[in-house]
Chain A
């Protein structure tokens, strides 16, 4: 899941220095925000839809074992195979074993975040297989040797000049940086690969338990090629990506594209139930569902269970002001934005993700944007709390807040504390306020004036006012 070994602040700095990224994120958010608002409008009361979607997700995750059982039975009934992978390694192993047993040479993939999470491509490449991402954005970042910087727009950080350079390398000649020409070129390359491929790997937007079906939500048509041409199809599925019935899917599929890209519906909705049957004219001979836990069960029964309600629309990334400024790579996880800041530490601990819960101003825009009402910003605070419980926060900070607690409960200490604070701040004050200082104060005054304490606090003004009034009344 980890995408960088650089420290968080260096990753953020890299993003700040990338002018194209800054401009591109701003434009994308603008477009998605407007699109989302416009496509939500005809729904009438969006809150009712969100609440219904939340209910469906809650019911499903509350009964996850039950529905996974139904799903697995129904997949098998239709001739598909099911593998439950506890870890990333187990999931990778299953797919590589399968590829090895079939002497697979070419693998085509449609977009799958979970395969990014478990670094599946690298595992398959080790076998000597040619692995090709066929979602255009994923293809571009694969050529660049990078990871997605957005859940649904993986190459949002790449401009057309960079894309032309990457595709030129494939072409073996310089391609002009005009988008239609580049599309055509990529299309031609990818068509060839679809025809050659002996294994197709797709993600899973939803698995419908009642029929054991896969639902893919795509815009480019590559999903259909991937799942139809090769002889074997592997579906990589996070264990929470399940809906009980088609009826429930109706609600979620109404919200997903609206929340994601501001579309009422995507170009393709592909439902696949089982491998090719006798009467089918196409489709894979084998169909494998790899259902991955990889830490998700940590969330079940915990205060973070609702994070499994996520339908990976990216709406929280599309509204988050922090994401807008630092982009996806700064998060250092394949899952970026508010969802990534919660999901990454919940499923794999704080070792690599200790800063992420603090990378939020807690403005709550993510929670408001979430189509299934996950209280993302509240979870971020809980994750901060967990780090304190695990004594991962700095000792000085813990001491400071201990003192803060005592002060707030004892007015005498509080007033003394305020006075001491005032004396300290006055040391740095000029008529204009505070422009320098040390430590955390310096972090503030780097770009902002900090106010000098008022000569007379409100409480002392009140005291003198009361005194005067009492005198008057006497």
Chain B
């Protein structure tokens, strides 16, 4: 099976470790991974601010870049929701692009969704001792309906205790340009989210969208709240690596 990685702009520039972890895990599962180097951004920053023409430009490029990919996997529920849900809306009057848009939407998967639904992963040899809580992200949960998959994966990790996050369906306050345009409101929202996370007593905050995690993590860092932030893929890959190292020490 061949999988193309759509890294997303945020992970490419700020969180390359997320991409490396996704590559590591997919290869660990026996998939061949490629990274079409011509890829750019899905266009979501422009879309959410209302710039539809610019988003279409970005979308057409993304469609072309991944036209020949069997599967596309991305470590962001939000970007996948953009492609699956909003690209069709942007091209609803453009018969030439509709089928290409539809085809991309059918081949693109969020990372956890792909692991569970396509690769049908049921167990992982992974160890990661500690207490974690999971932030479900709005576009991932409401946009593409992926809520349980990341939790199923996290439950496969030995030693990891998962604490339920109160008000988990609440937005963290990121919202793209909202975070800077309406920063006072965004700050109140992220402060509330950070408080809920702290109330769980978790050492690790795990999520599936680096933009949300950048927001929450940035707030917690500034306010010296001792919580480490992980993308699901990072935690799993570190867990798999830990298990492997342990085994090689034993043998």
Contacts and interface: CB of A to CB of B under 8 A. Distances in A.
Given A364-B139, A418-B13, A450-B218, A409 B61 contact: yes
B215 interface: yes
A462 B23 CA distance: 10
Interface of A: 9, 12-13, 16, 321-322, 325-326, 358-365, 367-368, 378, 381-388, 393, 397-398, 401-402, 404-409, 411, 414, 418, 421-422, 432-433, 435, 440-441, 443-444, 446-454, 456-459, 461-463
A14 to B, nearest CB: 12
Nearest to B38: A411
Given A365-B138, A387-B50, A449-B218, 13 more contacts: A12-B185, A16-B184, A365-B169, A381-B48, A397-B49, A398-B51, A404-B46, A418-B13, A447-B223, A449-B219, A457-B16, A458-B20, A462-B35
A368 B142 contact: yes
A137 to B, nearest CB: 25
Interface stretch (B149-157, B186-194, B243-251): B186-194
Interface in B1-54: 7, 9, 11-20, 35, 37-41, 43, 45-54
A39 to B, nearest CB: 18
B181 interface: yes
Contacts of B180: 440-441, 443-444
B173 interface: yes
A398 B49 CA distance: 10
B6 to A, nearest CB: 11
Contacts of A383: 50
A364 B142 contact: yes
B14 A364 contact: no
Contact of A359 (B138, B182, B223): B182
Interface residues of B, number: 70
Contacts of A441: 180
A5 B132 CA distance: 47
Contact of A362 (B48, B54, B58, B183): B48
Contacts of A362: 48, 138, 175-176, 178
A457 B221 contact: no
Contact of A361 (B15, B37, B62, B171): B171
B163 interface: no
26 contacts: A9-B184, A16-B184, A322-B182, A325-B192, A361-B173, A361-B178, A363-B142, A363-B171, A381-B48, A388-B50, A388-B51, A405-B46, A408-B54, A411-B39, A414-B41, A418-B12, A443-B181, A447-B190, A447-B222, A448-B190, A450-B214, A451-B14, A451-B214, A453-B14, A454-B15, A461-B19
Contacts of B35: 459, 462
B12 A457 contact: yes
Tell me whether chain B's interface is mostly helix, strand or loop, or mixed. helix
A448 B188 contact: no
Nearest to A402: B54
Interface of B: 7, 9, 11-20, 35, 37-41, 43, 45-55, 57-58, 60-62, 89, 138-139, 142-143, 169-171, 173-176, 178-192, 214-215, 217-219, 221-223
Contact of A447 (B11, B182, B191): B191
Tell me whether chain A's interface is mostly helix, strand or loop, or mixed. helix
A8 B119 CA distance: 49
A358 B169 CA distance: 21
A384 B58 contact: no
Contact of A322 (B61, B176, B185): B185
A25 to B, nearest CB: 11
A459 B5 CA distance: 11
Contacts of B215: 448
Among A12, A386, A461, max chain B CB count under 10 A is at: A461
Contacts of A453: 13-14
Contacts of A393: 49-50
A364 B54 contact: no
Given A16-B184, A401-B46, A435 B222 contact: yes
Contacts of A459: 7, 12, 35, 37
